[in-house]
Amino acid sequence: IRMEDTQFLRKYIHLFQYDKPYNSIPFYLVLLLAGVSLSNICLATTSEQTVEISLEALKDAFSAFLLYSCLIEHSLNPHRALRLVELIEDEFLVDENEFVKESGGGKWGELNKLHNKTKQDMRKKFRYITIAQLFICFGYYLKNFLNYLLGIRAYDKNQWPTPFLYPKPESQFQSTTFIMYVYALHALTLSTICSEGYVMLTTVCVSTERVLGDFQTLYLLLDNFSKDYPDEEKSVDAQQI
């Protein structure tokens, strides 16, 4: 895959990478954001009277906690994720151009076709994960609006249609500025955890596709080798007997 396709992955990993105390401001901001977001959700569940909404909020808090934990782990050990990114970017273990050049095409052209197919599958998986993650992110952000519009949930004037459950302050409940602050906080939280989920899915799935392509290449080489030298294989077996 081209470097442009993995540019976001590298920038994301380097952005939250913990290097030195004075050079890791994004890492500390993520810790602060995680603490504020999770504490607000848990605090809101204590004052929520509807059991269904409270359970949904706890599920959101648990999911956010897992993703923030993965983000912190990646920040402290960025080399693990970077190795997967490098695996996606690197060439295959076997250079198909050398075989095609030496043999003039022929059956070794199958190796070239296999590598092209693997690259196409990697790009497709990259694109599908990106589109799916965008739908998930925007859908989750607008889920309560959609629930009210579609009539799935009855409108409650005492509850904000925010992505996550939020405790309702009495004095500032009608404040437009405070509502904008809550939405901005939830948007930042949602974008952070969705980005972490996107990086995890992309690095694991696409790198797995790359490794499977290498295994298919080795299988193809062994199969062609056994077809080219069948007599030598039999003579080796005879000597062993």
pLDDT tens across 146-186, in order?
777 776 666 566 667 788 888 766 665 567 777 788 888 88
Which phi and psi (to 5°) does residue 87 adopt? -65, -40
pLDDT at 6 over 80: yes
* Mean of the per-residue pLDDT values of the chain: 80
Report how far residue 84's alpha carbon sits from residue 126's, in angstroms, rounded to the nearest whole number. Answer: 14
Q: Are 166 and 182 in contact (CB under 8 A)?
A: yes
Q: How far is CA 111 from the centre of its chain?
A: 30
For 60, residues 6+ apart whose C-beta sits below 8 A from its C-beta are 41, 164, 165
Q: 29-48 burial, b for 16+ CB within 10 Å, e for fewer? A: ebeebbeebbebbeebbeeb
% of residues, the chain, pLDDT over 90: 24
Q: How far is CA 84 from the centre of its chain?
A: 12
- Domain residue ranges in the chain: 5-228
Return the pLDDT at 21.
79
Overall size of the chain counted in residues: 241
Which tens digits make up the pLDDT trace of 125-135? 999 999 999 99
Return the pLDDT at 68.
93
pLDDT at 88 over 80: yes
pLDDT at 144 over 70: yes
- What is the phi-psi region of residue 203: left when phi exceeds 0, alpha when psi lies from -120 to 50, beta otherwise? alpha
Return the pLDDT at 192.
92
Report how far residue 6's alpha carbon sits from residue 202's, in angstroms, rounded to the nearest whole number. Answer: 9
pLDDT at 79 over 80: yes
% of residues, the chain, pLDDT over 70: 80
Report how far residue 168's alpha carbon sits from residue 148's, in angstroms, rounded to the nearest whole number. Answer: 19
Kindly report the pTM of this predicted structure. Answer: 0.81
Q: How far is CA 119 from the centre of its chain?
A: 19
Which tens digits make up the pLDDT trace of 179-210? 788 888 888 999 999 999 999 999 999 999 88
